[in-house]
C-alpha cells in the first residue's frame, strides 16, 4: 500500500477493502460476494484456487485480504494459504463447514489469520479488516528489531498514527517511513531476494551467515547458547542481538521439529516474540547433524510465516529429496502452479540441489523458511485432487445438452461413461501424481466452464404435451438408474407441461397449479411419478377426496414400491398447497 497513492481508499477505511474470495461452491461465492459488498468492500470472486493465485500474482498489490474455502477440488485450501502468505504476504481467512479442532489447528499452523465456520454471518465479515491492520502492524514490528533505536522512535510515531482514526493511512505512513529508514541505514548489503516484499527489509540469513551462526552455536554448545554469545562469536557488525535471538529461537524449533518427526505437538508454541531473548523452549535439542533427518511435520515452521527472517531449510530439502519420485514429476509439469513458486523460492539462493538426498554433511540452503510448508501438504493435495477429477468431469457431460427434453436421456447416457472414468481415476493416487497434472488442466477448464455457463433455471417453459411427457418419463423410469436430478427435472417438466393443460381449468394456471404438481411429484420417490400423471389430469374443480385419488393409482400402480401411504402424503401436501393460497 503506497502512501498517498490511493488516498480515497485510506480515507474511508475499512470501506473499499479489496477482498478476494475463493470457493468452489457457487452458492457461497454469490452469498459472500453480496455480503462483502454490503460491507462496502471491493469483492473479486474466484471458484478455482489456481485462478486465484494467478490473479494474485498478476496484481501484486491488488488485494488486501483473501478469503478461501478449505476444501476445494483443484488445490487444498491450506496450500493456497501457504502460497498467498509466502508470495504475497496477505492475510488469509479460511472457511469451512467443518469445524473440527484439528482442521482449525491446521489452518492456524499454516498461517491463517482466522478460520470461519460455515454458515457465515454477515457480522463475521464486517470485522475482517482487522486482520489487514494487524498484519501491517506486525510488519512494522519486524522492522523494529532490525533497526536501531532511532528508527524505532520513528516507527512509534508511525504506530501512533495507527491509534488515530486513519488506521490505514497510518499503516501507509509507517511503511513509507520504513522504506526511508531502510535507505537511510544503508541496508543494501543485505540480500533483498524476496521478490514479494520489496518494501520490507529483512535480515536475510544467507548461507554464509547461517553457517557462522551454526558454527557459533555448536562452539558454545546448544544448551548454554545465548544470543549475546553467538553474536560475539559470529563477529558480524551489522547483526543485532535481536536478529540473532529470533534466529536462534527458530533454529531451536527447527531442530526439535526434526526430532519429532510426525508430531505436530509443537504447534503449541506461541507467536514468535521478537523481543524475547532466550526462548525458553522445552524441546530436546540434539546435535545439529540431526537436521538431516526426514521430517514431515513442517507445519510449526510454517506457522512462523509471519516472521520476516529467512531461515535455513535444509531438512526440508531432505524431505523434498526423500520424496524424489513425487517432486520431480510435479516439478516438470508447469501446469502446477503449486510447485512453481516453490521452485522459484528455492532458486533464489540458486544453490539448491533438490535431488540430493545424502545424509552426510550439512547442506545449508538459502531460502525462505515458509516453503517448508508446501512439501507435505503437496502430497495431500494430490490425494485430494485426484478424486476430484472424477467430480469435475461430470459437468462436462451435463453441460452438453442444454435443453430440457433431451436432458433426461443425457443423464442416462452419461452413466455408462462415468463408470469408465471412475475406473481411470480409481487407480492409486501414486499414479495420480503423474496422471493428475496433465489431466487437471482439461478438467479444470471444464469445471471452470461449468460455473461460467448458466444452466437454464428450473422454471423455464417447455411446451410439451402431457402425454408425450409422461411417456418420456415412463421410458426413463424403466431404466435402472434414475437419479434424483432426473426426477426433479421431470417434475419441472410436469410443472411446465401442465401449464398448458391446466390453463383451461384456471384463469391463472401456472401459479396455483404447479405447486400442486411440485408437491405431489417431489414428495414421492422415483416411481411415484406414475401416480402423479393421473392426478394431473383430474378436474381440480372437484374436491379431491381421498377416494377419488386412490382409484387412479390402482391401475397405474404396476409393481410400484410405494403404497397408498405416499398417496396420502400427496393429498396432505395438496391441501396444504391449496390452503396456503387461501387466507
Partner 1 sequence: MQRSERRICTKKGRKHASICLSASSNLLVKFHHSVKTGLPLWLLGFGMDRLRTDMNRLLALLFHQGVLDEQFLQLQQLQDETSPNFVSEVVTIYFRESEKLLRNLRELLSDREFSDYRRMGIHLNQFMGSSSSIGAKRVRNVCAAFRAASEQNNRLGCFHALELLEHEYCYLKNKLHEFFQVEQQRVMAAGVRYPIQN
**Toward partner 1, which CB reaches closer, 98 or 353?**
98
213 contact partners, CB below 8 Å, separation of at least 6: 205, 230, 234, 244, 247, 248, 251
Q: How would you list the strands of the sheet with 92-96, edge to edge?
A: 42-46, 18-22, 65-69, 92-96, 114-117
**Binder of partner 1 out of 184, 238, 391, 474 (CB under 8 A):** 391
Task: Find the shortest distance in angstroms from Cβ 405 to partner 1.
Answer: 17
**Nearest partner of 19 among 169, 106, 125, judged by Cα:** 125
Contact pattern for partner 1 over residues 521 through 550, marking x by CB under 8 A: -xx-x--------------xxxx--xx---
Are 460 and 496 in contact by the 8 Å Cβ rule? The answer is yes
Task: Find the shortest distance in angstroms from Cβ 21 to partner 1.
Answer: 13
Task: Find the shortest distance in angstroms from Cβ 30 to partner 1.
Answer: 5
**Binder of partner 1 out of 153, 157, 422, 479 (CB under 8 A):** 422
Are 20 and 57 in contact by the 8 Å Cβ rule? The answer is no
Task: Find the shortest distance in angstroms from Cβ 92 to partner 1.
Answer: 18
Subset of 184-213 contacting partner 1 (CB under 8 A): none
Alpha carbon 551 to chain centroid, angstroms: 55
**Toward partner 1, which CB reaches closer, 234 or 519?**
519
Are 109 and 81 in contact by the 8 Å Cβ rule? The answer is no
**Binder of partner 1 out of 171, 279, 377, 395 (CB under 8 A):** 395
Rule CB under 8 A: is residue 24 a binding residue for partner 1?
yes
Give the whole-angstrom CA distance, residue 157 versus residue 230. 32
Rule CB under 8 A: is residue 380 a binding residue for partner 1?
no
**Phi, psi torsion values for 21, nearest 5 degrees:** -110, 130
Rule CB under 8 A: is residue 399 a binding residue for partner 1?
no
Are 296 and 320 in contact by the 8 Å Cβ rule? The answer is no
**Binder of partner 1 out of 294, 357, 394, 537 (CB under 8 A):** 394
Give the whole-angstrom CA distance, residue 230 versus residue 223. 12
Q: At CA 288, angle to CA 283 and CA 294, rounded to 5? A: 80
**Binder of partner 1 out of 42, 51, 191, 578 (CB under 8 A):** 578
Identify which range of 1-9, 127-135, 294-302, 387-395 contacts partner 1 by CB under 8 A: 387-395
Task: Find the shortest distance in angstroms from Cβ 446 to partner 1.
Answer: 13
**Binder of partner 1 out of 42, 124, 191, 398 (CB under 8 A):** 398
Task: Find the shortest distance in angstroms from Cβ 317 to partner 1.
Answer: 31
Question: End-to-end alpha-carbon separation of the chain, Å?
Answer: 59
**Binder of partner 1 out of 335, 415, 446, 462 (CB under 8 A):** 415
Identify which range of 220-228, 314-322, 324-332, 386-394 contacts partner 1 by CB under 8 A: 386-394
Give the whole-angstrom CA distance, residue 533 versus residue 414. 26
**Toward partner 1, which CB reaches closer, 80 or 161?**
80
**Toward partner 1, which CB reaches closer, 471 or 481?**
481
365 contact partners, CB below 8 Å, separation of at least 6: 207, 312, 313, 314, 317, 346, 349, 351, 352
Subset of 33-72 contacting partner 1 (CB under 8 A): 34-35, 38, 69, 71
**Toward partner 1, which CB reaches closer, 5 or 576?**
576
Task: Find the shortest distance in angstroms from Cβ 46 to partner 1.
Answer: 16
Assigned C-alpha cell, 548: 377419488
Subset of 78-117 contacting partner 1 (CB under 8 A): 96-98
**Toward partner 1, which CB reaches closer, 218 or 458?**
458
**Toward partner 1, which CB reaches closer, 101 or 580?**
580
Contact pattern for partner 1 over residues 475 through 514, marking x by CB under 8 A: -----xx-xxxxxxx---------------xxxx--xx-x
**Binder of partner 1 out of 13, 28, 213, 301 (CB under 8 A):** 28
Residue 445 to residues 204, 367, 448, 468: CA-CA distances in angstroms? 40, 33, 5, 37
**Phi, psi torsion values for 356, nearest 5 degrees:** -80, 115
**Phi, psi torsion values for 88, nearest 5 degrees:** -110, -15
Subset of 317-376 contacting partner 1 (CB under 8 A): none
Give the whole-angstrom CA distance, residue 537 versus residue 131. 61
**Binder of partner 1 out of 111, 302, 515, 553 (CB under 8 A):** 515
Are 197 and 159 in contact by the 8 Å Cβ rule? The answer is no
**Phi, psi torsion values for 114, nearest 5 degrees:** -155, 160
Count of residues in contact with partner 1, rule CB under 8 A:
83
**Phi, psi torsion values for 443, nearest 5 degrees:** -65, -40
**Toward partner 1, which CB reaches closer, 273 or 572?**
572
Give the whole-angstrom CA distance, residue 383 versus residue 388. 9
Task: Find the shortest distance in angstroms from Cβ 510 to partner 1.
Answer: 8
**Toward partner 1, which CB reaches closer, 328 or 500?**
500
Subset of 432-461 contacting partner 1 (CB under 8 A): 455, 457-459
Identify which range of 9-17, 195-203, 273-281, 571-579 contacts partner 1 by CB under 8 A: 571-579
Task: Find the shortest distance in angstroms from Cβ 142 to partner 1.
Answer: 36
Give the whole-angstrom CA distance, residue 175 versus residue 534. 74
Rule CB under 8 A: is residue 519 a binding residue for partner 1?
yes
**96: helix, strand or coil:** strand
Residue 527 to residues 458, 473, 474, 516, 569: CA-CA distances in angstroms? 21, 10, 9, 18, 15
Are 21 and 36 in contact by the 8 Å Cβ rule? The answer is yes
Residue indicated by cell numbers 474466484: 46
Q: Report whether the peptide linkage leading into residue 14 is cis, meaning its omega lies within 30 degrees of zero.
A: yes
**Toward partner 1, which CB reaches closer, 474 or 568?**
568
**Toward partner 1, which CB reaches closer, 359 or 426?**
426
Amino acid at each position: 500500500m503506497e502512501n498517498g497513492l490511493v488516498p480515497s481508499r485510506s480515507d474511508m477505511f475499512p470501506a473499499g477493502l479489496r477482498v478476494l474470495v475463493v470457493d468452489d461452491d457457487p452458492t457461497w461465492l454469490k452469498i459472500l460476494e453480496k455480503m462483502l459488498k454490503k460491507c462496502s468492500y471491493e469483492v473479486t470472486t474466484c471458484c478455482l484456487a489456481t485462478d486465484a493465485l494467478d490473479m494474485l500474482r498478476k496484481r501484486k498489490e491488488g488485494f488486501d485480504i483473501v478469503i478461501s474455502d478449505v476444501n476445494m477440488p483443484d488445490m487444498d485450501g491450506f496450500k493456497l494459504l501457504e502460497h498467498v502468505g509466502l508470495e504475497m504476504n496477505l492475510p488469509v481467512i479460511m472457511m469451512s463447514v467443518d469445524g473440527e479442532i484439528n482442521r482449525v489447528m491446521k489452518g492456524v499452523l499454516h498461517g491463517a489469520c482466522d478460520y470461519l465456520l460455515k454458515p457465515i454471518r454477515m457480522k463475521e465479515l464486517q470485522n475482517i479488516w482487522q486482520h489487514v491492520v494487524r498484519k501491517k502492524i506486525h510488519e512494522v514490528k519486524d522492522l523494529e528489531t532490525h533497526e536501531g533505536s532511532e528508527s524505532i522512535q520513528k516507527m512509534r510515531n508511525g504506530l501512533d498514527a495507527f491509534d488515530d482514526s486513519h488506521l490505514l493511512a497510518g499503516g501507509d505512513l509507517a511503511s513509507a517511513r520504513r522504506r526511508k529508514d531502510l535507505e537511510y541505514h544503508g541496508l543494501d548489503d543485505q540480500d533483498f531476494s524476496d521478490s514479494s516484499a520489496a518494501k520490507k527489509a529483512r535480515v536475510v540469513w544467507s548461507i554464509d551467515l547461517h553457517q557462522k551462526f551454526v558454527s557459533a552455536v555448536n562452539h558454545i554448545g546448544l544448551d548454554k547458547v545465548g544470543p549475546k554469545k553467538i553474536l560475539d562469536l559470529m563477529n558480524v557488525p551489522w547483526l543485532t542481538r535481536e536478529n540473532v535471538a529470533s534466529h536462534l529461537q527458530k533454529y531451536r524449533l527447527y531442530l526439535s521439529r526434526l526430532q519429532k518427526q510426525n508430531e505436530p505437538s509443537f504447534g503449541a508454541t506461541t507467536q514468535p516474540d521478537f523481543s524475547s531473548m532466550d526462548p525458553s523452549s522445552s524441546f530436546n535439542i540434539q546435535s545439529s547433524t540431526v537436521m538431516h533427518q526426514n521430517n514431515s511435520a513442517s507445519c510449526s515452521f510454517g506457522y512462523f510465516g509471519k516472521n520476516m527472517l529467512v531461515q535455513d531449510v535444509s531438512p526440508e530439502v531432505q524431505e523434498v529429496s526423500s520424496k524424489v519420485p513425487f517432486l520431480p514429476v510435479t516439478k516438470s509439469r508447469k501446469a502446477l502452479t503449486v510447485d512453481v513458486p516453490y521452485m522459484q523460492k528455492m532458486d533464489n539462493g540458486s544453490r539448491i540441489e533438490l535431488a540430493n538426498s545424502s545424509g552426510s554433511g550439512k547442506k545449508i540452503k538459502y531460502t525462505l523458511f515458509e516453503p517448508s510448508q508446501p512439501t507435505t501438504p503437496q502430497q495431500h493435495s494430490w490425494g485430494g485432487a485426484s478424486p476430484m477429477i472424477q467430480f469435475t468431469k461430470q459437468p462436462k457431460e451435463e453441460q452438453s445438452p442444454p435443453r430440457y427434453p433431451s436432458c433426461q436421456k443425457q443423464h442416462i447416457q452419461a452413466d455408462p461413461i462415468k463408470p469408465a472414468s471412475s475406473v481411470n481415476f480409481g487407480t492409486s493416487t501414486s499414479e495420480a501424481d503423474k496422471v493428475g497434472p496433465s489431466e487437471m488442466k482439461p478438467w479444470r477448464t471444464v469445471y471452470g466452464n461449468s460455473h461460467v455457463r448458466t444452466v437454464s433455471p428450473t422454471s423455464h417453459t417447455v411446451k410439451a404435451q402431457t402425454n408425450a411427457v409422461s411417456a418420456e418419463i415412463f421410458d426413463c423410469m424403466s431404466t435402472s438408474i434414475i437419479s434424483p436430478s432426473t426426477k426433479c427435472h421431470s417434475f419441472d417438466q410436469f410443472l411446465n407441461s401442465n401449464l398448458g393443460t391446466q390453463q383451461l381449468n384456471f384463469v391463472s394456471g401456472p401459479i396455483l397449479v404447479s405447486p400442486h404438481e411440485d408437491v405431489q411429484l417431489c414428495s414421492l420417490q422415483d416411481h411415484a411419478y406414475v401416480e402423479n400423471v393421473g392426478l394431473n389430469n383430474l378436474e381440480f374443480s372437484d374436491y379431491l377426496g381421498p377416494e377419488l385419488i386412490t382409484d387412479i393409482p390402482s391401475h397405474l400402480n404396476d409393481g410400484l414400491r410405494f403404497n397408498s401411504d405416499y398417496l396420502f402424503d400427496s393429498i396432505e401436501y395438496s391441501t396444504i398447497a391449496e390452503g396456503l393460497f387461501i387466507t
